[in-house]
């Protein structure tokens, strides 16, 4: 007579509660890591988009300066500079005329810089830059017709620093950055002036000037 094989009581049992909790905890940690990395990758991609526009703006402004031997801003703004100093940062809105000058076609007329009149800043009708139309007021030209306003991914205009006093440098906004790792970096301290004739920056996601998330043309981070 064959003896019956005894099956252990625990042979058909599933995971214990503790084992399930451990598995759930591991899955939650992995999901959190994936989400964090995905968020960072998306933020880096958006920053790269803005950096591309900043680079294009610098090239366009430099090309305009070579063509016309002047910068693409209204003369009233150029005359507003203090003696021996560069003019304040130019905003890429409707009032400075800078975007209209770079995008000019036969019908493009740049706005004045607050003087009440209008002037054609690009009489040769050269198109120095291609820019998209903004969607929902973000990342591109807000106005479909001149005078143009150019905004970043967060709906804020770009800021342009120009060497209008001819010393081949512009002021460095990093000196007043609220992040001490930038403004008070002892390993690589920010120089008083940037060795460039054109610098461009965006206020970034927080829409606040001189903060850590500013997207700038003179450093990679």
Q: Which of 82-91, 114-123, 178-187 has the lowest mean pLDDT?
A: 114-123
Neighbours of 43 (CB within 10 A): 12
pLDDT of residue 164: 93
Tell me: pLDDT of 206 over 50: yes
* Backbone phi, psi, residue 6, to 5°: -85, 125
pLDDT of residue 134: 95
Cα 173 from Cα 186, distance rounded (Å): 17
Average pLDDT, the chain: 86
- Residue 116 binned pLDDT confidence (cut-offs 50, 70, 90): very low
Neighbours of 40 (CB within 10 A): 10
pLDDT of residue 4: 59
Residue percentage of the chain with pLDDT more than 90: 58
Tell me: pLDDT of 117 over 50: no
Contact by Cβ (8 Å): 69, 62: no
Burial of residue 216, with CB atoms counted within 10 A of its CB: 0-12 exposed, 13-18 middle, 19 or more buried: buried
**44 or 132, higher pLDDT:** 132
Tell me: pLDDT of 39 over 80: no
Cα 218 from Cα 221, distance rounded (Å): 9
Write the pLDDT tens digit of every residue in 137-190: 999 999 878 889 999 999 999 999 999 999 999 999 999 999 999 999 999 999
Write the pLDDT tens digit of every residue in 62-85: 999 999 999 998 888 877 666 788
């Amino acid at each position: 007579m064959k003896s019956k094989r005894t099956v252990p009581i625990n042979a058909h049992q599933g995971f214990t509660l503790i084992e399930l909790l451990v598995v759930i905890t591991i899955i939650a940690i992995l999901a959190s890591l994936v989400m964090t990395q995905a968020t960072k990758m998306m933020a880096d991609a958006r920053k790269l988009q803005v950096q591309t526009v900043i680079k294009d703006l610098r090239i366009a402004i430099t090309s305009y300066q070579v063509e016309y031997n002047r910068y693409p801003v209204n003369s009233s703004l150029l005359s507003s500079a203090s003696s021996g100093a560069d003019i304040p940062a130019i905003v890429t809105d409707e009032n400075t005329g800078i975007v209209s000058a770079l995008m000019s076609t036969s019908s493009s007329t740049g706005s004045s810089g607050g003087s009440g009149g209008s002037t054609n800043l690009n009489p040769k009708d050269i198109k120095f830059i291609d820019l998209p139309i903004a969607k929902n007021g973000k990342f591109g030209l807000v106005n479909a017709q001149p005078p143009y306003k150019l905004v970043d991914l967060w709906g804020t205009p770009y800021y342009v620093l120009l060497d209008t006093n001819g010393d081949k440098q512009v002021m460095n906004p990093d000196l007043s950055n609220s992040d001490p790792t930038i403004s008070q970096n002892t390993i690589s301290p920010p120089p008083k002036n940037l060795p460039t004739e054109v610098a461009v920056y965006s206020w970034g996601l927080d829409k606040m000037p001189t903060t850590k998330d500013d997207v700038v043309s003179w450093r990679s981070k």
